Amino acid sequence: MPPADLTLSSVVERLAPGIGIDLLTGRDSPAGPPVILDSGDPQAVDAHPIVLAVGVTGEDEQLHLLDRLARARLAAVVLRRPVSPPVVAAAESMGIAVLAAGPELPWGGLYTALLGAVAADDPAGDLFALANAVAAGAGAASTIEDPHGRLLAYSDLGHRIDPPRRQNILGRRVPEEWQRRLRDAGVFHRIRRSAQAVSVTGFDVHGYRRRLAIAVRAGDEMLGSIWVVEGDEPLGQEARRILESAAGNVALHLLRRRAEPDPERRRRVEAVTRLLDGMSQDASGLGLSAPVTVIALGAGTGDAPADAALARRIADLVALSGSAYRRTVVSVALGVRAYALVAATRSRACALAGEFAGAAGRAFGLPVRAGVGPTAPALTGVAASRADADLVLDVAGRNAPAVVRVEDVRATLTLHRLRGLAEQHPGLRLGLLDGLVEQDAARGTAWLPTLRAYLEAFGDVPAAAARVNVHPNTFRYRLRRITERFRLDLADPDVRLVAALELRLLPGEPG
């Protein structure tokens, strides 16, 4: 069961990068297990379930669904993008949290990912829930095993199984005979070498049924494997996608299981986590006092299990490196990042960020970057400092230094926030430039590049003309046509400001 104080924002943070779920409303809403929407009225079979609105598309259907959810007192729903502003507004008025999912992952994969994120605090029970989620999505019985063939979890949804699978469950491990067969056939070697699901066939044994298997990894380390046994229906491409989307979630839970802390350390981790999440300002027992600066550290390889494993190691290293400052530095790993809370002057906090990033990079052989949030004058500002430290890492370019402070990327952060605001209110993206966008798209004109060059050159026509490789007189003609045809008074500073912002909010623009 998920903890009583688990929120939707925490669930979204636990999801692996690339899952593609954004929380549009209800950041602090309580979270429960995901459920698939059925054809009847939703029923609250669990506390605070997250309803996956499979097949509900279009604004009218989504508004109708929100009304059904409100009557059933269900307060969280996953909708496919796009989610229109009227739907978001209706959800907010009804007190319903909306999570927007992209098209990249099938519903089965989203269910598996959410189930793993919701149940992350109960590793043992969670593995069985994940095994059931894999089985439900793939339509076949599943098992989760460690690298030595020991059974960690299995599905119990009534799918058809074969004799080897039955022996596996009864003996709580893959029988020696089958381990030898799989080893001799090179199956284990193929699973270890492949990033995709591997088909396991070709065994002349009565009742044997085809399998799919995939390795569960954290970087180069194999943590285990997931297997599904073909049932009444052939294992198809959807089963492969389910396995491949589940592997990262299983890896994260195996890593959590391995690193279960002692009670005192668990208490400290929970206290620091609640500070970072803004759910508490109680720092008793941590030796931490304001002002506090939050430092986010990560390698950002894009491999979620590997990044999560590295984050734990970085947090441990920070605890060791900061032992001389043990009354002013505490650390914790959350998801794919490590966080250090530093009670020191601003300059000292930035210096420590450099020390932590450098030590981690040398120790683990990967470039580790530190994002330094603003210094919070009171413990109530820790969550905001953490949010900005995360954003600093999110927007820092590949060529950014090892330590990036919030003040170093203030303009980029503002644009990032404006982009997020424009996601919720698409009307902010266009207005002054509608006509220019339409004509450039329909007729191949160059109004937008001309305007962009003019604004970026601060009105210096020769410099702007050079940017777009035209003669200054040609550029002046284009500029005159823009101001006359599209009624853009570029002498007005407000018009210039809004035009520049709209240009930066266009799809594909940096920032």
> How far is CA 148 from each of CA 59, 145, 179, rounded to the nearest angstrom?
51, 8, 9
Shared-domain flag, residues 252 and 291: no
Share of the chain above pLDDT 90, in %: 11
CATH number of the domain within which 108 lies? 3.40.1390.20
Give helix 410-424 / helix 382-395 axis angle, nearest 10°.
90
Domain end among 258, 288, 310: 258
Instruction: Answer yes or no: do 281 and 388 share one domain.
Output: yes
Q: Closest Cα partner for 129 from 119, 140, 139?
A: 119
What does each C-alpha distance from 182 to 198, 221, 228, 282 come to in angstroms?
Answer: 13, 20, 15, 53
Q: Name residue 413's amino acid.
A: L
Q: Is 511 contained in some domain? A: no
Q: Give the Cα separation of 101 and 81 in Å (integer).
A: 6
Give yes or no for residue 53 having a pLDDT over 50.
yes
The CATH number of residue 197's host domain is: 3.30.450.40
- Do 405 and 480 lie in a common domain? no
pLDDT (average), residues 194-211: 83
Per residue in 367-415, pLDDT tens? 899 999 999 998 889 999 998 899 888 887 667 788 988 887 777 767 7
Single out the residue in 212, 228, 258 at which a domain terminates: 258
Region 452-466: mean pLDDT is 88
Do 400 and 279 fall within a single domain? yes
The answer on pLDDT for 480 being more than 70 is: yes
Mean pLDDT, the chain, whole residue set: 80
pLDDT of residue 126: 64
Strand order in the sheet with 221-229: 151-154, 141-145, 221-229, 211-218, 198-200
Residues contacting 100, CB < 8 A, separation 6+: 21, 22, 24, 78, 79, 80, 81, 83
Same domain, 500 and 466: yes
At 89 the pLDDT is 92
Q: Same domain for 407 and 316?
A: yes
- Answer yes or no: is 3 within a domain: no
Q: Give exposure, 333-354, as e/b (b: 16+ Cβ within 10 Å).
A: bbbbbbbbbbbbeeeebbebbe
Between CA 37 and CA 30 the distance in angstroms is 19
**167 and 92 in a common domain:** no
Residue 228 has pLDDT above 50, yes or no: yes
Continuous segment of H or E residues that includes residue 8:
helix 8-14
- Interior angle at CA 12, CA 11 and CA 17, nearest 5: 125
3-state secondary structure of 224: strand
Total structural domains within the chain: 4
Looking at residue 268, which CATH number applies to its domain? 3.30.70
Query: What are the pLDDT digits (tens) for 109-124?
Result: 677 678 767 765 544 4
Task: Supply the pLDDT for residue 39.
Answer: 45
Residues 333 and 286 in one domain: yes
- Do residue 175 and residue 109 come from a single domain? no
Which residues lie closer than 8 Å to 256 by C-beta, 6 or more apart?
A: 120, 123
Does residue 193 form part of some domain? yes
Question: Is 417 among the domain residues?
Answer: no
Higher pLDDT among residues 260 and 255, named by residue: 255
Among candidate residues 225, 258, 291, the one where a domain is terminated = 258
Kindly state whether residues 268 and 253 are assigned to the same domain: no
Is the domain of 216 the same as that of 312?
A: no
Instruction: Determine the average pLDDT of the residues in 135-145.
Output: 86
82 part of a folded domain = yes
Tell me, yes or no, whether 2 lies in a domain.
Answer: no
**Half-sphere exposure for 431 (CA within 13 Å, toward CB):** 15
Return the structure tokens found at 53: 């609105």
For residue 146, being part of any structural domain is answered with yes
The boundaries of the domain holding residue 471 are: 429-504
Confirm whether 156 is domain-assigned: yes
| Distance of alpha carbon 51 from alpha carbon 422, whole angstroms | 26
Query: Would you list the DSSP string of 392-404?
Result: HHHH--TT--SEE
Parallel/antiparallel/unpaired status of strands 369-376 and 292-298:
antiparallel
Q: Are residues 274 and 253 in the same domain?
A: no
Judge contact between 385 and 374, C-beta under 8 A: yes
pLDDT grade for 320, boundaries at 50, 70 and 90: low
Map residue 373 onto helix, strand or coil.
Answer: strand
Read off the tokens for 67: 């009304």
User: Where is pLDDT greater, at 158 or 65?
Assistant: 65
Q: Where are the alpha helices (DSSP H) in 100-150?
A: 107-118, 123-138
Whether residue 228 contacts residue 197, with contact meaning beta carbons closer than 8 Å, is answered with no
